[in-house]
């Protein structure tokens, strides 16, 4: 059996971070109450268990919003400091101002500062230790790549380095060495897989199987033997999907339906009812917010964005039905006098005030009206213009599958991929949309909501 190596998967690392955040913060507060005159959070108080649960809930919620459990952020001591301070501040603020489920606000307001410092110092101290000692190659998932197509292997290595840095690539086995590739090349003629796995403590073997070949078949007996002994062996497509959270490009072919099974949530009435109730409740709140901000938008529009306030445009909805989407106008009047054009990230047609509206996503707020009417949902693929849908469907036959569900105000593609201003980028976003349709569930919806809040707060709008 392959020798085991201590490593943490993505889900294990995130769980570890959440558990220790809560434990370290509570331990820090207890230590503070023991050493100093800090009585706001006292272990001997009646109802302390309830207070701990409330504090933990706030901590995990705001930690999620401020990307405390985004591994790229968690592995950077400067970014995690920013996220820790923001999480500590909002956790303290909400904890202090919800006295029905937390201790009564202390008369000595200095106690609030103690609470904030205890939370932030405790978390950052533990997170600094995490970066120094746990986020290291010693605990990485150690993988071996086997493939017959060197271009596909090279692309896989690049994706792993960009999207899953917690993986350490021990090496790759390929018919020929890949030029300008830092990963170690392993000569197939000199390799005995069992010895290689044992010696290098490899925890997962990724097999690139896009092209069936004698090269891959030659390793099949050894792979079967390793599989029987407990080794983890994954196809490159499955591995890529797990780290990129999008449908692999190689699945978008004539065998597409062998790989894409629509989420059972599409037929789950409880899920669909909950989804619609959620849409109605949030859209009503959104419309109240729209009414509140309209005076400010009117003033900004009057001085910096002269012209009509709203913009109506035909979009494709569920089942291909057309509807008029409502947005705050962000472009100059007659922006498309020459016909429909793709909007680019630094589009000269976007006004200065319009750029602000787009960056903060405020231009999307009127779409709560579309959601209340049932034309859109809070979560789903972004609605596209009929001209572009027709154009993209010619190049990418699977594009219209996006319309199997209602379009959304936000979606998986929007929070995972930057602004798309070309057919190729739209194709990439399509793979994210198809992933959402395939995996759609309440947990994924919750992730999208949290990521959307983070996008707005960190000013990452388009």
**Integer Cα distance of 302 and 290 in angstroms:** 17
C-alpha closest to that of 461 among 324, 364, 349, 339: 364
| pLDDT value for 287 | 97
pTM score, whole prediction = 0.81
**Regarding beta strands 310-316 and 322-328, do their DSSP bridges make them parallel or antiparallel, or are they unpaired?**
antiparallel
C-alpha closest to that of 108 among 118, 120, 96, 100: 96
| pLDDT value for 1 | 44
**Integer Cα distance of 307 and 252 in angstroms:** 43
- pLDDT tens for the chain, 462 residues: list them: 444 555 556 677 788 899 999 999 999 988 888 877 777 776 666 778 888 999 999 999 999 999 898 877 888 888 899 999 999 999 999 998 888 888 887 777 788 888 899 999 999 999 998 888 766 555 678 899 999 888 889 999 999 988 887 788 999 999 889 988 889 999 888 889 999 999 998 989 999 865 567 788 888 899 999 998 888 999 888 899 988 999 888 788 776 776 677 777 778 889 999 999 999 999 999 999 999 999 999 999 988 888 899 999 999 999 999 999 999 998 888 777 666 777 766 777 888 898 899 888 899 999 999 999 999 999 999 999 999 899 889 888 889 889 999 999 999 999 988 777 778 888 899 999 999 998 899 989 999 999 998 888 876 655
**Integer Cα distance of 281 and 275 in angstroms:** 10
DSSP output for 433-448: HHHHHHH--HHHHHHH
Name the token pair of 298.
């009117």
**Integer Cα distance of 89 and 123 in angstroms:** 12
**Three-state DSSP state, 376:** coil
**Integer Cα distance of 58 and 62 in angstroms:** 6
**Integer Cα distance of 151 and 205 in angstroms:** 18
Q: Which domains does the chain have, with CATH numbers?
A: 10-134 (no CATH), 140-244 (3.40.50.720), 264-457 (no CATH)
């Amino acid at each position: 059996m392959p020798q085991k190596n201590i490593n943490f998967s993505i889900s294990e690392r995130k769980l570890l971070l959440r558990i220790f955040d809560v434990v370290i913060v509570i331990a820090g507060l207890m230590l503070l109450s023991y050493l100093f005159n800090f009585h706001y959070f006292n272990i001997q108080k009646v109802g302390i268990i309830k207070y701990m649960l409330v504090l933990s809930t706030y901590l995990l919620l705001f930690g999620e919003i401020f990307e405390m459990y985004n591994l790229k952020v968690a592995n950077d001591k400067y970014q995690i400091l920013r996220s820790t301070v923001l999480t500590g501040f909002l956790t303290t603020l909400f904890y202090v101002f919800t006295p029905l489920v937390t201790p009564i606000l202390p008369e000595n307001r200095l106690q609030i500062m103690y609470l904030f410092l205890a939370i932030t110092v405790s978390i950052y101290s533990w997170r600094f230790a995490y970066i120094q000692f746990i986020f290291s190659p010693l605990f990485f998932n150690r993988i071996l790549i086997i493939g017959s197509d060197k271009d596909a292997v090279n692309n896989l290595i690049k994706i792993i380095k960009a999207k899953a840095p917690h993986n350490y690539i021990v090496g790759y086995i390929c018919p020929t060495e890949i030029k300008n590739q830092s990963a170690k090349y392993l000569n197939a003629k000199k390799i005995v897989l069992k010895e290689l796995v044992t010696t290098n403590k490899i925890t997962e073997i990724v097999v690139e199987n896009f092209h069936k070949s004698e090269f891959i078949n030659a390793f099949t007996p050894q792979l079967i033997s390793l599989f029987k002994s407990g080794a983890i062996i994954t196809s490159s497509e499955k591995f890529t999907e797990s780290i990129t959270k999008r449908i692999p490009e190689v699945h978008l072919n004539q065998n597409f339906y062998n790989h894409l099974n629509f989420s059972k949530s599409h037929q789950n009435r409880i899920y669909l009812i909950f989804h619609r109730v959620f849409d109605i409740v949030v859209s009503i709140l959104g419309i109240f917010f729209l009414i509140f901000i309209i005076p400010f938008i009117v003033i900004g529009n009057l001085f910096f964005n002269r012209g009509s306030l709203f913009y109506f445009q035909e979009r494709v909805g569920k089942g291909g039905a057309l509807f008029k989407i409502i947005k705050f106008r962000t472009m100059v009047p007659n922006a498309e006098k020459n016909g429909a054009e793709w909007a680019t990230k630094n589009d000269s047609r976007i006004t200065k005030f319009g750029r602000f509206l787009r960056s903060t996503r405020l231009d999307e707020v009127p779409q709560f009206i579309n959601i209340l009417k049932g034309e859109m949902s809070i979560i789903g693929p972004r609605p596209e213009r009929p001209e572009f849908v027709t154009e993209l469907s010619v190049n990418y036959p699977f594009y219209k599958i996006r319309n199997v569900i209602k379009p959304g105000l936000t979606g998986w593609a929007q929070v995972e991929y930057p602004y798309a201003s070309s057919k190729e980028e739209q194709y990439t976003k399509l793979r994210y949309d198809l992933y959402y349709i395939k995996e759609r569930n309440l947990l994924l919806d919750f992730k999208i909501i949290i990521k959307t809040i983070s996008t707005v707060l960190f000013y990452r709008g388009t």
